[in-house]
Amino acid sequence: MTDWLSPSEWQAVFLSIRVSLWATAVSLPLGIFTAYALARWSFPGKQLLNGLVHLPLILPPVVTGYLLLLTFGRRGPVGGFLEEWFGIVFAFRWTGAALAAGIMAFPLMVRAIRLAIEAVDPKLEQAAGTLGAARLWVFLTVTLPLILPGVIAGSILAFAKAMGEFGATITFVSNIPGQTQTLPSAIYTFLQVPGGEDDAARLVLVAIAVAMGALLLSEWISRAVARRIGGA
């Protein structure tokens, strides 16, 4: 089984999974918060925030990658600050790939969670309040359990998007084997070399398998959660 892919190919697969898991996990709390703010609060600049969140969905990925390079590169305002104070470097590292994937996947995650939040009857949250639950408790004991299927769906969607992210990633962190060469970058590299189609095809199969696996898992979890909530 392990011979089926070369070590460097396995490296690309595992790097992609690691990058996607991190991208999903780190953006999830922020995604829930953003979705809640967009669904429930009214504040100045709400439309601006909404547009900002959706920007990666409509910009060419190469533009997003370039903007990331300008901002989070070692000479960028945020990148320089993070390196100087926390020692975190994004440019040309796998962390940068995770950042790019996270930002590209963020709009999909927020949309799924926002829809779930809008489906929750605010009257239930009000009822929880009259029963003595403070706001945070209302969120944790009523809102969050009720939106769980949406949160799971959003996370899996984000994971799948992160697995497939290419344009922003290659622009921001390049295509360094073992460092920033994710699955799509590896496929791209094979396709650039004459006779690389066979290697590319195997990686394509891996990509399909991971994507399908994620989709089935999300369906299964969502259904189990929906049953537990009793909504269905």
42 lies in the binding site for other proteins (CB under 8 A): no
Which tokens in the block code for residue 90?
């994004």
Could you count the other beta carbons within 10 Å of the beta carbon of residue 218?
19
Residues 68-107 that bind other proteins (CB under 8 A): none
- Which residue shows structure tokens 């003595």? 132
Q: For residue 96, which amino acid is it?
A: G
Nearest approach, Cβ of 32 to other proteins (angstroms)? 17
For other proteins, the closer CB: 48 or 123: 123
Instruction: Mark the segment that binds other proteins (CB under 8 A) among 53-61, 97-105, 159-167, 223-231.
Output: 223-231
For other proteins, the closer CB: 34 or 143: 143
For other proteins, the closer CB: 73 or 149: 149
230 lies in the binding site for other proteins (CB under 8 A): yes
For other proteins, the closer CB: 46 or 227: 227
The length of the chain is 232
* CA pair distance 102, 200, nearest whole angstrom: 25
Nearest approach, Cβ of 137 to other proteins (angstroms)? 7
For other proteins, the closer CB: 104 or 146: 146
For other proteins, the closer CB: 48 or 136: 136
For other proteins, the closer CB: 87 or 132: 132
Q: For residue 94, which amino acid is it?
A: W
Q: How many residues bind other proteins (CB under 8 A)?
A: 23
* CA pair distance 159, 109, nearest whole angstrom: 9
Nearest approach, Cβ of 33 to other proteins (angstroms)? 21
Residues 107-166 that bind other proteins (CB under 8 A): 121, 123-124, 126-135, 137-138, 141-142, 145-146
Nearest approach, Cβ of 153 to other proteins (angstroms)? 17
204 lies in the binding site for other proteins (CB under 8 A): no
Nearest approach, Cβ of 73 to other proteins (angstroms)? 45
From residue 183, give the alpha-carbon distance in Å to each of 8, 75, 106, 139, 180: 11, 28, 20, 38, 10
Interacting residues toward other proteins by CB under 8 A? 121, 123-124, 126-135, 137-138, 141-142, 145-146, 228-231
